[in-house]
Chains A and B, each alone.
Chain A
């Protein structure tokens, strides 16, 4: 492949057109780089502006007036917003726990077993990912009303249950995909060796399979956590007056206009999800130690 040439010295490094190009050196075409840069600008500039202006000492949010953390204090002291954030974190933590366990089981089952109608079953497991979110949201809303969970006040924290149940339902198929793709690289001979050496099925699972599965489990859990924390549409339909989550609260605030304390609260959420995502990606990266190969 010609695309990977030695870095050119001096100015040429920054002016790719100055380099001799192979016909397939698309990554080096100037227009390609300009396009790439402008799309990334389009993707990141609004977020960067949002983060920058959460630190801006001006209510109108347009011109930079100086650094301040006061909007973080405003957001922190906004009791509704704080409660909503607490709810979001509780929901995300509980649904992550359940979604990871259930998802890992489904992932293991799909990886390990051959059974009739497997293709149809896989399609069924992927349905919550495919179905439009709004349909899932309104169907769960109708269902929970039917059960009477939305009309009677269950009291905090029990009024979070409908949301948690909904989140588990759309998170665990993602966990299953991550765990299954991790297990594909597992060497079955290790399991046989473990059994030959007299380990029980549980011991084999605990000491051979589980350690291999661990990065997949962590990546799946982080994925479920961000999915749950970020979900707006399904939560919007399944939350009641006492169970408002952070995105739902922000939605009602945003409808009234753009204010710096929303920027501050959003920045906090962005930091949480970005950290979780980067960690998850690190975990998902192919295992370089060769363990289990």
Chain B
């Protein structure tokens, strides 16, 4: 690596296009939005920048506060389910025979590359009232019902879509690969002799997991949790398709402000609450990783 002073021309040549693009099409739009969040609607399309904080205060209104709270706990549950599922998967991949590892990793990551919308749609088709899950359950139910009671209790399809559970399932389905990858990366680097030592010294598998493996893989856990939690919090597509009218998250409120309700300043304020929450989570990670590094040293 050389100092930028050695070759100023090349440095600026390589720097300017990217910096320019981000300044113009990333920083500028976010600034516009940030300014709007302190404005008020003064016409159908006009926004007057009044410096008011009313838009942020309005977010505390019980209706919206409840939705934000719901977004938080739905994201938290989805993240937790991802963690519980992903940890053993990452473990299994790490301890799989070498020739299987790339294949297992590939099939873990591949769904992530398939269009988010298509995956959500696929889930809809499986969960809907006459979808696959209900068909299979119904077939089994009616078979045994016919066998034992002569068909007096016909199957009632389960309402699997349009509730909080389906949104959580959808988020887990979509973001699980995000959790597996960082966990895999840290478990793979973990010195396995620690585990052997712990087991040799008489700790049970569970004790080894809780007191050795989990603390040592904490950075991966934190990264994975953030990688899943942040997009879950801002999710808009999953609740829109799988949640219906019952499971609205903050992303859906933002979308409504910009597309149908046409209250941009309020939508801007909500978007920035989302950004502040993201920065808060990133700051927390910074603190936590420093702490866990401090303990490890």
Contact = CB atoms under 8 A, between A and B. Distances in A.
The dominant DSSP class at the B interface is helix
B114 interface: yes
Given A35-B92, A106-B18, A60 B3 contact: no
Among B109, B233, B258, residue most surrounded by chain A Cβ atoms (within 10 Å):
B258
A27 interface: yes
B181 to A, nearest CB: 13
Contact of A134 (B13, B18, B251): B251
A126 B239 CA distance: 27
Contacts of B18: 102-103, 105-106, 109, 125, 172, 176
A138 B196 contact: no
A258 B196 contact: no
Contacts, number: 252
B26 A49 contact: no
Given A62-B130, A105-B18, A138-B254, A44 B4 contact: no
A273 B95 contact: no
A187 interface: no
Contacts of A119: none
A250 B268 CA distance: 27
B25 A113 contact: no
Contacts of A254: 117, 121, 124, 241
Contacts of B65: none
- Contact residues of A: prevailing secondary structure: helix
Contacts of A53: 125
Interface residues of B, number: 86
Interface in B45-91: 45, 85, 88-89, 91
A262 interface: yes
B121 A258 contact: yes
Contacts of A120: none
Contacts of A33: 92
A194 to B, nearest CB: 15
A233 B275 CA distance: 16
B4 A113 contact: yes
Contacts of A143: 25, 28-29, 32-33
Nearest to B111: A43
Given A23-B196, A172-B18, A61 B125 contact: yes
Given A112-B14, A135-B272, A172-B18, 10 more contacts: A27-B96, A43-B176, A45-B126, A46-B119, A132-B230, A133-B231, A140-B25, A142-B258, A232-B117, A247-B115
27 contacts: A28-B95, A33-B92, A35-B89, A42-B173, A46-B122, A62-B132, A105-B17, A105-B18, A106-B14, A108-B14, A109-B14, A134-B255, A134-B274, A135-B271, A138-B33, A138-B255, A142-B258, A168-B25, A176-B18, A226-B113, A230-B114, A233-B236, A237-B258, A247-B117, A258-B128, A273-B115, A274-B114
